[in-house]
Structure 1
Amino acid sequence: MKNNFKSDLKKEALLHPLIDSYYQKLKHYTFERISDLNQQLKGVDVILKDKRDGTIYFVDEKAQLDYLNESLPTFAFEIQYLKKDSIREGWLFDSNKKTQFYTLATSIFSDEEEKLTSCQLTFINREKLLELLKHKGIEKQTLVNYSSNVAKGKIRITELNPRTEGYLYLSRNKAEAPLNLILKLNWLIDEGVGKSFP
């Protein structure tokens, strides 16, 4: 079982300046990166502020750091995971999170040693995402029920088309053994839940 915590932290530190360079190009927004651990645990990595009306948005950043120099058409949304032999709630359905938007970093490329040089960002409206899933008949318990009789791997669910929308995946090769909802990014964009940048 892999636990790449230190390696992931190093990659995250390399990713932040790259993502920040993209935030700086947002025409109508300023951004503040949050270092307070309590805020981060509540799902706030960045605060975006609309220059036009002062509205602030709480943003949780998620990145495909296990897939450097690859372009995947999907993203994994965490439903639950193991910690100290007990099942913990993943970030997607966690009502304690203050997150309003996710910044999903995919297609992360490193063309230079110790430097991440480009990535694709997709902004996901969390409320709209949860509404879309509910409309499809997908709630946390639905997904947990699907996984209860499966040892590991891909789980097809009747609520989603696995080819164009998504599926469940139970990982056993990671220490946390996460149950993830794998969703197609293009589907989320087409449904008005997400927007890609740049």
Structure 2
Amino acid sequence: MKSSFRSDLEKEKQLAKLLDHYYRKHLKKYCFKRVSNLKEQKKGVDLILTSKADSAVFYVDEKAQLDYVNDSLPTFSFELFYEKNGVQKQGWLFDSKKKTDFYALVTSIYADEENIFTSCNITFVNRKLLIDFLEQKGLSKDKLAEIAASQNSFHGKMELRALDIRNEGYLFFSRKNKVERPVNLILKLDFLIKLGVAKKLV
């Protein structure tokens, strides 16, 4: 378990070097500071962006598809719920304790060799705009919690009436293959960009 944890930390550390290179290149209007404080990271802050124009501050939570290196997925998983000691807990998307303003979704991560990352895509998602959109669609935190609670043994992909399953998104229940039995909202990145809640940085 420890070696796996160390391996994940090493991957994140090496990926951060590539991400910082992209931030320096493409976020010219902002100063950025990487956060190493674990307490702040638990509040959903990996990066602090400060606008050079008006000193406005934004908190960014980096989410990377490190389980899919050298692969390109058109979707991203937003964590709605998970279980701990048999009790359903709030996932990071709707967690009011998180300070996150933006998610930096890191996808299409490519490596020449283990932990030597050469390229990736970064899509910034405005958390508030995404939550507002979901609420307008009838997919509020409470409604999604109700759906999750009513499907305690369901495993796999579930269609939502509010979203087109092929072009927009769906729910995915990992009830059988993961200890935390997470429920995720899977959304198409292109759809989020078209909506105007996301923007591709690179």
Classify the TM-score, shorter chain: over 0.9
Give CA deviations for 1:2-48 in whole Å, capped at 9, x if unaligned.
xx644432321221111111111111111000011111111111001
Answering whether residue 192 of structure 2 is matched by residue 195 of structure 1, we say no
In the other structure, the counterpart of 1:22 is 22
Give CA deviations for 1:160-187 in whole Å, capped at 9, x if unaligned.
1111110000113222221000001001
User: What value does the CA root-mean-square deviation take over the aligned residues?
Assistant: 1.4
Letter in 1 for 2:60: V
Give runs of aligned pairs for residues 16-165 of structure 1, distance below 5 A: 16-25=16-25, 26-147=27-148, 148-149=150-151, 150-165=153-168
Q: Distance in 2 between matches of 1:142 and 1:156?
A: 14
Give CA deviations for 1:94-119 in whole Å, capped at 9, x if unaligned.
11111000000000111134311110
Q: 1:170 aligns with which of 161, 168, 173?
A: 173
How many pairs are equivalent?
195
Q: Cα distance, 1:84 vs. partner?
A: 2.8
Q: What is the aligned-residue identity percentage?
A: 53
TM-score, normalized by length of structure 1? 0.93
Runs of 4+ in 1 over 3 A off after TM superposition: 4-7
Q: Is 1:146–1:155's contact at 8 Å kept on the other side of the alignment?
A: no
Q: Is 1:146–1:157's contact at 8 Å kept on the other side of the alignment?
A: no
Q: Distance in 1 between matches of 2:30 and 2:58?
A: 10
Q: Distance in 2 between matches of 1:8 and 1:162?
A: 32
Q: Distance in 2 between matches of 1:32 and 1:127?
A: 22
